[in-house]
Homo-oligomer: A and B are copies of this chain.
Amino acid sequence: MTTEDDPTGTLARRSLLGALGVVTVGGLTAGVLGLTGRAATPLSQRAAAISPSAAASHDAGHVATATATPSPTAHADHDAQAEAQVKAFPAKTAGAGLQELKSNVVNGVREFDLTCDQFKWEVTPGTFVDAFGYNGQVPGPIMRMTEGERIRVRVKNNLDQTTGTHWHGQRVTNNMDGVPFLTQPTIKPGETFTYEFTANPFGSHMYHSHHNATEQVGKGMLGPLLIAAKDASVDPKYDKDELVILNDQLGGITVNGKGFPATAPYTAKLGQRVRFRFMNEGQMTHPMHLHGLTLEVFARDGYPLPAPFKCDTLNVAPGERWDAIVVADAPGAWAFHCHILGHAEASTGMFGMVTALIVS
């Protein structure tokens, strides 16, 4: 999720697929050797090149001859739809959130510019919703800074309604906390409000609207605030840094602003250590389940856990952040989804809060 300057997501898909090296379909995990980082063949097309019958040669995983075939048509439609959903993954949609936000240091202060915008957002192919968001993205761009840095953020309101921005998890001075009428006036349409604070504490935090927030956050006014610790040794080592931002309101059930099959798969090379930063900006608790690998959870709301723990299902409540390391020590396309099954699969196949970690 570190794709920069690629609003259509084309680059993201291309690099993700390039990183694959493993395509899994039809009962078979096929090591697709020799594919380069430039490979742009969609997963669905590559899948078609592998005969499902190849699976029959496996010791396990074989399909025995049917000894009875009850109502063979009853399930055909479901399967066709379900297969099409998976083969479409990762599906192309316009717009990509979580682009890196540029900043400049001016007289010792790191400065960022955010705009509050209204736009159409394509959540799944062909489904456009009326979004509110920062800098035209859902989720908003990634803001990166270092613990102790002085930060200035100019927030320009291009909405047709007032707003205010809260730095969720940050220990700002009260007048920078972003709660209209309690700590500041609203930011009116056309106005710019300048927030200043010292980045503290470090870790995985969020920024989002704190005004008419059920609507504004629900529609996408949210983004990640990633604060590197001054002492880097507080974090475990990792090779990749990924975001898992959950929402469940006006855009439906989404991961990083998209619903399956338009969610972007995560990728890792065998043996890499991936840091996942889970953030829930929705209204429902989402127990995120990763198949085949282990989550080593080491921070909660940015604070290092005194007793890090392992799990495969991490319950993320609204407003919470959790950081985990996954050691990508097993190849394959590992499903990664909310285990509230109604957020992940309908009779027409998988949708919503579903993605995969593809280890090649």
Chain A residues within CB distance 8 Å of chain B: 22, 24-29, 52, 55, 58-72, 74-75, 78-79, 82-83, 85-87, 152, 158-162, 166, 168-177, 179-196, 201, 210-215, 217-218, 283-285, 287, 289, 291-294, 300-301, 303, 305-313, 315, 317-320, 330-335, 339-342, 344-347, 356
Contacts and interface: CB of A to CB of B under 8 A. Distances in A.
A92 B51 CA distance: 51
B313 A339 contact: no
A160 to B, nearest CB: 4
11 contacts: A27-B183, A52-B185, A58-B175, A64-B191, A68-B190, A173-B330, A210-B335, A283-B341, A285-B285, A300-B311, A318-B341
Nearest to A186: B79
B160 A75 contact: yes
A303 B180 CA distance: 38
Given A168-B289, A174-B29, A332-B175, A196 B61 contact: yes
Contacts of A190: 66-70
Given A58-B175, A217-B341, A283-B342, 15 more contacts: A29-B183, A55-B175, A55-B185, A61-B184, A61-B193, A62-B193, A65-B191, A69-B189, A75-B161, A79-B180, A171-B330, A182-B335, A183-B332, A287-B320, A317-B339
Contacts of A308: 306
Q: Which of A63, A162, A182 has the most CB atoms of chain B within a 10 A radius of its CB?
A: A182
A299 to B, nearest CB: 10
A180 B82 contact: yes
B60 A195 contact: yes
A44 to B, nearest CB: 10
Contacts of A344: 213-214
A187 B61 CA distance: 10
Contact of A335 (B66, B177, B340, B345): B177
Contacts of A174: 22, 24, 29, 292, 330-334
A63 B181 contact: no
B309 A319 contact: no
A27 B162 CA distance: 14
Contacts of A342: 214, 283
A27 B71 contact: no
Given A69-B190, A194-B64, A218 B341 contact: yes
Given A313-B320, A340-B283, A175 B306 contact: no
A293 to B, nearest CB: 7
A253 to B, nearest CB: 12
B61 A175 contact: yes
Contact of A356 (B180, B182, B330, B339): B182
Given A172-B292, A356-B182, A162 B79 contact: yes
A307 B309 CA distance: 9
